[in-house]
Each structure stands twice: as C-alpha cells, then as structure tokens.
Structure 1
C-alpha cells in the first residue's frame, strides 16, 4: 500500500489550525517539506536576497496531523523512517541572526551540492550527508499563533542533529489530537547550528507515529539508533571557551575556531563560521567547577580532503 503524502504547509503553531489529516497510532505518513526559506532561495540566489526574505514565508512546516485518542498528558512518538534527498542546499549568514551576529553583519550565502554520501561544502571540504528534520513539534496549549522559530516543551524547532533515520522522538501532548507538524530539513548540521543555518534543503521525510497513553514526560526526549554517527574518525580539532557565562563561553569557543581556521588554513572567515554551523560540535565540557565553566567546540578532521587542512 502506498504511503500517503502530506503537502499542506503552515507557518505557525496554533491548536486552532485545521488538521491536514487524521491518523491512528501506528500510521505512517510521508511529508513533502520545503527548505527554511520556503523555496525562495534558489541555486542562483545572491547573498543580498537573505536580507529580503519575508518573515511570513520562513520556516514552513508540513501538517498538522491529528492523532486519534491523543489527550494532554499522553506522548506521541515520531519514528523517523526515511529521508529522500534532494540535490543541493544553502547555508547563509543572515544579518542580526546567529551566535556571532555582532561579528558578522553582512549577508553571505553558500550553495552546496550533495549526494547520498557527502555534502560538497567547498573544494577541499566534504561533510557526511546526515539528513534530519530540524523542526518536529506539537501544538502548544496556549491559544493563538506561535512562531516556528523557538523550541518549546512540546517540540518545535529543536535542531537536534541526531534525529536521523532510525531515531525516535517522543513529544508530550498538550492539546487534544496533538497536532504534529514537521519541517526544516537539513542535509547536515553541526551541534548548535551556530551561524543560524545548516545546509538547508527541500526533502521528503517519512515517519511512523505512535500514541503512548499517559506518558507524562515534561519535554522532548529521543532515542538514537546504534551506528547513527558513522563518520570516519580521524580525530578532532577542539577549541574552548572558559568563563562564568555559558553563552559567552560558547561564543568564545566558536570565535577561537574561526580564528584558527582563518589563520592556520587561510579560510575566509565567513566560510569558517558557516563551516562551524554545518559540521562542528558544540558541547559543555564542565559545568561543576564554579565559578567558571568550559564549553568545547569540536571540528572533525575527517571532513577535510587535504592533509594540510587535517593538520591545522
């Protein structure tokens, strides 16, 4: 039997939105998902177009789906069955957006071709193709229209890079039917998505949805399948940020990495920042030795094709 495809798009979370489909526990649906620009960025787009993207068109999500018998206090499981790749994606530095928005004030755009193996980010940089949906969420209990951009306790724009094929995300239901939507597909992304964008791309995603009665979880949780991170491990270049503020530490660690890539590899700073967003891994290394904490930023050496880049 053919799997039904959901094409309906919307641009906010709102429990008054009419459902695109009604499902039962165990049903599988395929979602036809646009990229984060709503299709406005093309292969031929120029960086300046990033400053003119209408907010009303951004971050479209596909759905919502009404789960029969779902009530507040239940849990909806989203098992990610498959992602069907496109051919290209984009990464942008958008003025006023991103972890280092004060450092990078001009628009910048990178178009990347990809296949089922790799994202060809630059001449000497190939990042493993690792597709996932950045936004998976249910409708919040609070009335009105809610932006897609911030994540919430019922899911949304989580941007968790480990929500790949074979993983399962569990979301707490806040309203009758749950009202599940999925969007924001990425060809690859680093932990933190620090510049504000990953390799944004149009893609179809297939998921099986299950209802768990009285699950009573406070916020999203997920299972990651064994072998989900299959990058060839050649080690990492790691920079750190140390101080009493985790946000400042994160900024310092990323700035340090950009500086290293720029000075040691001759990489354009904008490219280095974007690379941090699509391939890096931002982690808290220490949060107990007050008054200072340590944030580490990992760059996998395996993405670099040349030995000179791997040695930086």
Structure 2
C-alpha cells in the first residue's frame, strides 16, 4: 500500500500510548514550532457513520500544527478487489466474516439493530471518518480554521491494479432522481465504478463499468434488498457488469465530502445531514487550497474528516459523488472568541469556506436541525428538508457576512447579492439540503 510520505509523528505515537489521560496532560505547553501529526486509516483510527463529542481523540494538536489524514470511502466494498484487497488499512476497516466485523458500529443508531435490523448502528449515518483531532485550547465560542494544503488519491493495494485508483458512484434510493425514472426497470439502483489516475497526470476520471444493485446477503446473514447499510460486500457473481460512459471524461475535483467538528447536542450524531458544525456538506470546493471555518461546540473541537470524493457536481443529484479514498494534509488554526472582532469569523455560527478568490457561505434547510427539530431531529430531518428553506438560510448568512465582515448596510448587501453573488444547490441528498452562496473577493479591490 502506497501512502503520502509525510511520516507518523512522535506526538501521534504518544497519544496512542498515553491512554485515558486528560486533554491538558496530552496538550501541555505549545511547542516552539508547528508539529506534524499523522493519522493512518485503519479499524482503530476511524469512526463509521457518526460524529461524537465522546469519541477519544487520535491526536492532540496545537494551533498551527499540521495533520495528515488518511481517509477511506465507505463505498469501497462496491468493488473490493479494486478498493480493499491488498490495502492493510482498508482491509482492517472492511473486515467482516460470520463472527465479527473490523468496525462494528456503522451509524448513530442502536448497536443491537433493534429499529430496522440492518446491523449495528443501523446505517443511520454512513461515512467513514478519520479522527478526531483534539485542538488544544479550543472551547465553545471559538472558531477552528482548517486549511486544506494537499490531497492525493490512495492507490489500489491490489497488485492486479497497481498504479491505479478507483471510486464508486451510486445512483441510489435516496437520490433526487429515484422516483422519477423513465426507463425500465424503475426503482433500480445503479453503481458505476470509475478509474482515477493516482499520479495526477490525467485530471479526469473514466468509467470502468456499471452494474445494477441486486439483493446482497451480508456475512451475518442479513439480506439487503437496497443499499441500506454501509460496507456490505457486493458479490459480483450476482451482478452483471456493463459498459458505461464510453469516451466521457469526468473532471477531477478532489475534496472532503464530510469534514467538521463534534456537535454538542447529542452523544452520537448521524453523519449524513450537515449542520452548523460542518459535516456532510458535499461541496466540491472543499479541497486543496480551500480553508474551512467551523464554530467550536465542544472542548477540543474534535475535528474529523472523511467521505473523500474524486469528483462531484453541484447537487450530487443521484445520491453520491465519485466516492474514493484520499489522503489529505491540513493545518489547524484556532481563533479564540476574544480575538474575533473585526475578522471574517466574528460571530460565525455556520461553516464558512474561503478560497483564494471567493468566500462561500453554506445554508441548510435547518441551520441547526439538532436544536430546531427537538428530540426526534435525527429522524425528522429527512422528511422536512426543502430548497426554499436552504436558500433563505444561505441568503441570510450572506447578508450577515456582507454587513458584518464587509461593513455594508442591509440595502447595499441585498443589492450586491442580486448582481454579484452566485447561489447554487450544494446537495439534495443529505437529509438537510444545502444551498451555497458565493461572493468574489475581487469585487472588493481595496480590501485585497
């Protein structure tokens, strides 16, 4: 298995060995120079399908430190030969035989699968997340800045596919298209496997083949009529592999589909709906060169990342992007509440993206669905989302940004949004639907 050659830091090894010490014991005094931490992806370092304020940190980082995160796609078992076999980290995560699973809990649901019988965690949350990273000194009211410095595909570990990377796109039952199909058989789920060049010399992905999902029986004997539980191994003897998208090149846009800090409202939070803490935003702009800002909700922030994508369009209409495994290098910067006045993070209560040329606000059907929808929020959100609400939330956030950060009055902000801001549908498949608003830095030349 090839990985990015950043090296595992001494701080990471110490964090694993120290056990249940306090955050202060792990953090101590900030070193004189930034430290580089490395978190490999394996059954011990990932959490599957949920964010949690109670999840033990994998590393303790100070403001300014660098963290390399290996991340795995939860769709790797769509074609295990290409995306799991020969990769020790992926093999440990996806291990599943009649007696045990490498990672048992998959989702924020009950461990005894007493709701729908799908499996531990019920698949109420599907993304494999690496982390969390405890940021020393982070407290509620602070803002965590995460600079994405580099991203690279994870090459296949299978010698038969040496020098290649693969990803999976699922047009599935949760897709916006699903109840509006025109060809028979209707109600079908179709998976398309793509090939990506891990060297970066080819900046496009091409389809290898497609197949229609057939009922799959997992190693515990549970039958999955649809794609209803993450990581179910697909028996390719039961599906027909067909040609797909011959001659079509998909532009590569590597990014983290899911990255965020731990929310405060519940012990286990479904990884699918995004919210104020970030999470499954599914914005292809959250890639190399981008900087995300997250409001801190719990001590240490507890940053996790995963759901890596090779490519995605706005809306992620059919259900997923090209889900692949990636390794990313990030830098974490802490902005204390007392130091935010007059900065772009003053009063920030939502995930904000900054690129070299743009600011991007993220609106959702519910800005904080966990608080707004009450005790049943994690189930109710899936039936209550709308683009109208998400658009209104994005508009309000952009208005506040322009008035607070750029010093405009309301009338100026409203006029500017109409003539210069671009609003787009981020995704309509994640329970809490998203609309993003983009404003160019170039329209404020004096500030630049």
Query: Is the TM value for this pair above 0.5?
Result: yes
Equivalent runs, 1:153-168 vs 2, <5 Å: 153-168=276-291
Deviation at 1:224, TM superposition (A): 1.5
Give the count of matched residue pairs. Answer: 228
Deviation at 1:98, TM superposition (A): 1.2
Q: Is the 8 A contact 2:253 2:287 kept in 1?
A: yes
- 2:296 corresponds to 1:173: yes
Deviation at 1:128, TM superposition (A): 1.7
Give the one of 126, 130, 134 matched to 1:58.
126
- 2:33 corresponds to 1:33: no
- 2:169 corresponds to 1:91: yes
Q: Is the 8 A contact 1:43 1:111 kept in 2?
A: no
Deviation at 1:159, TM superposition (A): 0.5
- 2:54 corresponds to 1:16: yes
For residues 204-230 of structure 1, the C-alpha deviation after alignment (integer angstroms, 9 at most, x for no partner) is 111111101114311010112249xxx
Q: Which moved more, 1:20-29 or 1:4-13?
A: 4-13
Structure with higher strand content: 1
Q: Is the 8 A contact 1:118 1:129 kept in 2?
A: yes
- Structure 2 distance, partners of 1:218, 1:246, is 20
**Cα 1:60–1:43 shift into 2, 3 Å:** closer
- 2:424 corresponds to 1:283: yes
SS of corresponding position for 1:19: coil
Q: Is the 8 A contact 1:132 1:187 kept in 2?
A: yes
Q: Which residue of 2 aligns with 1:199?
A: 322
Deviation at 1:101, TM superposition (A): 2.3
**Cα 1:282–1:191 shift into 2, 3 Å:** farther
- 2:195 corresponds to 1:113: yes
Q: Is the 8 A contact 1:82 1:165 kept in 2?
A: yes
What is the TM-score with the length of structure 1 in the denominator?
A: 0.67
Structure with higher helix content: 2
Q: Which residue of 2 aligns with 1:225?
A: 356
Deviation at 1:283, TM superposition (A): 3.1
- Structure 1 distance, partners of 2:125, 2:268, is 15
What is the TM-score with the length of structure 2 in the denominator?
A: 0.48
**Cα 1:23–1:225 shift into 2, 3 Å:** same
For residues 168-208 of structure 1, the C-alpha deviation after alignment (integer angstroms, 9 at most, x for no partner) is 00000011110000001100100011111000001111111
For residues 212-267 of structure 1, the C-alpha deviation after alignment (integer angstroms, 9 at most, x for no partner) is 1114311010112249xxxxxxxxxxxxxxxxx857xx9xxxxxxxxxxxxxxxxx
SS of corresponding position for 1:16: coil
SS of corresponding position for 1:40: helix
Deviation at 1:125, TM superposition (A): 1.1
Q: Which residue of 2 aligns with 1:131?
A: 254
Deviation at 1:85, TM superposition (A): 1.3
Q: Is the 8 A contact 1:73 1:173 kept in 2?
A: yes
Structure 2 runs not aligned, ≥5 long: 1-5, 8-35, 83-117, 155-164, 182-186, 208-244, 341-346, 359-385, 392-421, 426-434, 436-448
SS of corresponding position for 2:78: coil
Give the one of 24, 31, 42 matched to 2:79.
42
Q: Is the 8 A contact 1:192 1:282 kept in 2?
A: no
- Structure 2 distance, partners of 1:108, 1:43, is 17
- Structure 2 distance, partners of 1:43, 1:19, is 29
Q: Which moved more, 1:10-19 or 1:113-122?
A: 113-122
Higher relative CO (CA 8 A, sep ≥ 6), structure 1 or 2?
Answer: 1
Q: Which residue of 2 aligns with 1:75?
A: 143
Q: Which residue of 1 aligns with 2:221?
A: none
Q: Which residue of 1 aligns with 2:3?
A: none
SS of corresponding position for 1:55: coil
- Structure 2 distance, partners of 1:171, 1:57, is 20
- Structure 2 distance, partners of 1:56, 1:206, is 28
Q: Is the 8 A contact 2:125 2:271 kept in 1?
A: no
SS of corresponding position for 1:42: helix
- Structure 2 distance, partners of 1:9, 1:246, is 32
- Structure 1 distance, partners of 2:275, 2:326, is 24
